[in-house]
Structure 1
Amino acid sequence: MLRRAFRAPAAAAAILFALPAATAPAQEIGGVYAVKGTNFDGTTYRGKATISLTDSTNCRIVWETGGATSVGICMRNLDAFSAAYALGHSFGLVVYHIQPDGSLEGVWSTADQSGAGTETLTPQAAQR
């Protein structure tokens, strides 16, 4: 019985040490994106998002949509990309799935509100 008790923590430690290696770098995700989304009530919005890398896996994101600016932190893990954001006194979360063409398709929500919206970020060509 004592041998089994030591195996589980060793297996858990092995998994924890392997997690950082499974995280894909954010380097491929930085840049400017066109934003197209839907609000909780189905109305649509458009704008721009800028993703700036802060290290190999983490980043900052700024959305400019509908005359408002929201800021957040973000992180990539394999084909998932998530961001937590602040808009005025509200906080929210968006979870995207990275598409083969580099676009990000996601769903978002705001704390203490019912429902979810959708959002697609499409990478924009670099300005020369």
Structure 2
Amino acid sequence: MLKRNLMILAILAAALTFGAQCDESTAKSEGVQGTYKVEGTNPDGTPYRGNVSVTRDGDNYIFNWNIAGDQFSGQGQLSGTKLTVDWGEEHPVIYEVKEDGARLEGSWADGQGSETLTK
């Protein structure tokens, strides 16, 4: 009987832990959508600013940047807190999702450029 009760407790603990992880992941993924201010640094060290809108389409995130009047677009996938966005260049933009999606910190051009998105 004791073994059975311990087994039930272990199953309940695992279910609660899994549920909490799912809720956290869902909150982060839903929190990524929206409009952000962009501040970044080009590979040559020059700064840039603009904005980006992020929408969700199934498992994909659609990015539409406006940087000093220039338009860029891309599509990304979220894995944990890492959001990888293909924007048509050789290397993707790789963001780390922070503050439940209120801030994304990323690099591009194989780490030579950097970018911070803030809601």
* 1: CA distance, partners of 2:69 / 2:91: 18
- CA deviation after TM superposition for structure 1 residue 92, in Å: 4.1
2:87 aligns with: 85
- Size of the aligned set, in residue pairs, is 94
Shift >3 Å, 4+ stretches: none
The letter for the 2-side match of 1:28 is: G
One of 82, 90, 115 as aligned partner of 1:119: 115
**What TM-score, normalized to structure 2?**
0.70
Which residue is equivalent to 1:51? 54
- CA deviations on 1:22-76 (whole Å, 9 max, x unpaired) are 8x44322111000000001110000000001101x31110111022101110111
Partner residue, 1:35:
38
Measure the CA separation in 2 of the matches of 1:28 and 1:78.
13
In our comparison, the structure showing a higher alpha carbon Rg is 2
Q: Which amino acid aligns with 1:38?
A: T
Give the distance between the partners of 1:80 and 1:73, measured in 2 at CA.
14
Name the CA distance, whole Å, in 2 between partners of 1:120 and 1:93: 15
More helix by proportion, 1 or 2?
Answer: 2
CA apart distance, 1:104: 0.4
* Aligned residues with identical type, % of pairs: 31
Give the TM-score, by structure 1 length. Answer: 0.65
In the alignment, structure 1 segments of 5+ residues that lack a partner are 1-20, 124-128
Match of 1:65 in 2: 67
Matched residues in 1 for 2:99 and 2:41: separation? 22
